[in-house]
Amino acid sequence: MLRRLRTLRSRVFPKFRYPSKGEKKVLSIYVEVQVGGECQRRVARALFDPGCGKNLMSRGMASKLNIHYPDRFGKPILNTIGMDEFRSLGQIEGRWSCNNARFEPRFYDAVWEVSDTHVIYDIIIGNDTITENRFLKWSEELG
């Protein structure tokens, strides 16, 4: 059974490669947080987005981790390309890991801003985390 799940996952989430400059990459990651003294771990669909300054989490993902936010108007933390505001309902501290050959087999600490609007991905790993952990390696173009 485990072998079938691994095969299915490898077909759904192809092997990670370092994205080219400006390219975004979606992966399956494990997200882990402490809630009421208990560890909550879930699989999330994550976008690695060097154009996003912060780590973001959908309200739905927060609910899956047993963290619930009342319906309220969040505080603005980011401006989008269309000059809309991204509003955060709050922050969640935790850690994440990726079961992929391109990542070290360890957990990475993170702080996520929880989205007050519908987002396509469960998690967005932003530029600060990408840069801090050297997930992208920029190089000069040779002429």
Read off the DSSP letter of residue 83.
Answer: S
Q: Is residue 96 part of a domain?
A: yes
pTM of the predicted model as reported, rounded to 2 decimal places: 0.72
Residue 13 located in a structural domain: no
Q: Is residue 17 part of a domain?
A: no
Helix (H) or strand (E) holding 55: none
Task: Identify whether 11 is part of a domain.
Answer: no
Check residue 140 and give its pLDDT: 58
* pLDDT of amino acid 65: 94
Q: How many Å apart are CA 123 and CA 120, to the nearest integer?
A: 9
pLDDT digits (tens, 9 = 90+) for 14-32: 333 444 555 457 788 999 9
At position 18, the amino acid (one-letter code) is Y
Closest of 128, 136, 129 to residue 107, by C-alpha: 129
Domain of 77 in residue numbering reads as 24-132
| CATH number of the structural domain spanning residue 126 | 2.40.70.10
In a domain, 88, yes or no: yes
pLDDT band at 7 (very low <50, low <70, confident <90, very high): very low
Q: Does residue 49 contact residue 125 with C-beta atoms inside 8 Å?
A: yes
Q: Find which of 11-15, 21-25, 109-113 is predicted with most confidence, using mean pLDDT.
A: 109-113
**Nearest-angstrom CA–CA distance, 95 and 125:** 12
Q: Please state, for a pLDDT cut of 90, what percent of the chain lies above it.
A: 35
Q: What is the pLDDT of residues 50-73, one digit of tens each?
A: 888 899 999 899 999 999 877 666
Domain count for the chain: 1
* Residue 47: inside a domain: yes
CA 15 from centre of chain: 17
Asked if residue 76 belongs to a domain, the reply is yes
Question: Does a structural domain hold residue 2?
Answer: no
